[in-house]
A and B are shown apart, each in its own frame.
Chain A
Amino acid sequence: MSWTIIQQSIPVFVQAFWLTLKLSFYGIIGAIIVGLIASFLRYFKVPVLRQISAAYTEISRNTPLLIQLFFIYYAFPEIGIKISATAAGISGLIFLGGSYMAEAIYGGLQGVAKIQVESGLAIGLSRGQLARYVVFPQGLTLSVPAIAANVIFLIKETSIFTVIAIPELTNTALDQIGLYYHTDESLFVLVIAYAIILIPLSLALTWLERRARRGSFGN
């Protein structure tokens, strides 16, 4: 392992590092929005849309991201939908992450103690008010740990973007190996780069989890 080689490859990896963060960010924000919508459809038992969201959740959770990406990037153009690799990657991450976020959020909403709902009904809240003032504030807090776990999971999944040639971290490392045969150095920088993103994040999320638990009611 040579430090000079590592130093020389740093600029390329820094670029890939920001790209990984950017793609993860859009993917995660999108996934949370999809997750909120899907879990609300289920929670409010909206007819038809609820079944569609349940089917979506099952399909998305039980198939690999790699195949989802191949489908979006290689198969969709054949039926007339052409998008860039980056757009395909982000859409794939949203498609996958949306269902995981939906499960996390719905799990939180279900975790709200029954007595809270009953008390709300007893003081005459409507279903909308009950959701707005009682269930969501508590339920969303309860779902924070699961959402946090999904955030880390989704960032790691961006490594699969390499199969559609998005120059994120993993792709860049493979590129370096292919170009210069600097296998050890490239893999070393790659692992370090993921550690730089994920270790502080997982510590921050543990802290957030503890905060959220303090916010929960009655226990």
Chain B
Amino acid sequence: MAHSGINILFAGQNFTRLLGGLWVSAKISIVSLVIGILLGLLLGALRTLKNPVLRTILRLYLEFFRIVPTVVLLFLFYYILPKNFNVNLSAQIVAMLVFALWVAAEMSDIVRGALISVPRHQKEAGMAIGLNGPQLYRYVLLPQAVGLMIPATINLMTRVIKTTSLLLLISVMDVVNIGQQIIEANRQVYPNGAFWVYGLIFILYFLLCYPLSAWARHLERRQNNNA
């Protein structure tokens, strides 16, 4: 063989292009996580209220995003927004929107779970010293619940990062899409380019996700030891 396949990664601009694609995936993850986590905190707090209508609506919202696979969610927004609502967003924005709404749904469940596991007497003590509803959440419940939410939230982050690999399906120029272009463009010179390019992308995703999931596990273990 005249060329060793690994050179496909370093020929021309290939490596920087792949990293550029990875940055697009990272950017979409970061934006959707920030928006989704904030929205999820609000929705999660609302789900602990006693209002049955609100609870049912938020529960249905969560179940919808849980039952429909993420690929399908992406297609729903990608096709239906422009066609039926005349909203033309770029594929990247659609991706951020879908991921943010999905993160908010998952996050609301994490937040709710953490809030209801704060011991009852904490809430009662807060009420006894005359805190009103929002103050109770702001000073008593949320600060104690945050620690409980963190491992699950980090795991959610790794799920979002992994799910960005689906973005090529709505033609976002992410790392996978660029990888495919590189493989196609170099088919003549590097016939086994797929092995190296997909191999590199595999490793890149692992390098992003492994530290996060190891950190989440570390925090979980520490919490279990304290409990």
Interface residues of A (CB under 8 A from B): 58-59, 61-68, 70-71, 74-75, 78-79, 156-157, 159-160, 162-163, 170, 173-174, 177, 183-184, 187, 190-191, 194-195, 198-199, 202
Contacts and interface: CB of A to CB of B under 8 A. Distances in A.
B169 A162 contact: yes
A63 B159 CA distance: 9
Given A62-B209, A191-B76, A74 B158 contact: no
A197 B69 CA distance: 12
Given A63-B202, A67-B198, 16 more contacts: A59-B206, A63-B206, A63-B209, A66-B176, A68-B202, A70-B176, A71-B202, A74-B183, A75-B194, A78-B191, A78-B195, A79-B195, A170-B71, A173-B72, A190-B75, A195-B67
A106 B121 CA distance: 34
Nearest to A74: B194
A159 B205 contact: no
9 closest cross-chain pairs (CB), A and B? A64-B165, A62-B209, A78-B192, A159-B69, A64-B162, A156-B69, A75-B195, A66-B165, A74-B194
Contacts of B209: 61-63
14 contacts: A62-B162, A62-B205, A62-B213, A63-B162, A63-B202, A63-B209, A65-B162, A65-B165, A67-B176, A71-B198, A78-B5, A78-B195, A170-B71, A191-B68
A74 B197 CA distance: 11
Interface of B: 5, 67-72, 75-76, 79-80, 83-84, 158, 162-166, 168-169, 176, 183, 191-192, 194-195, 198-199, 201-202, 205-206, 209-210, 213
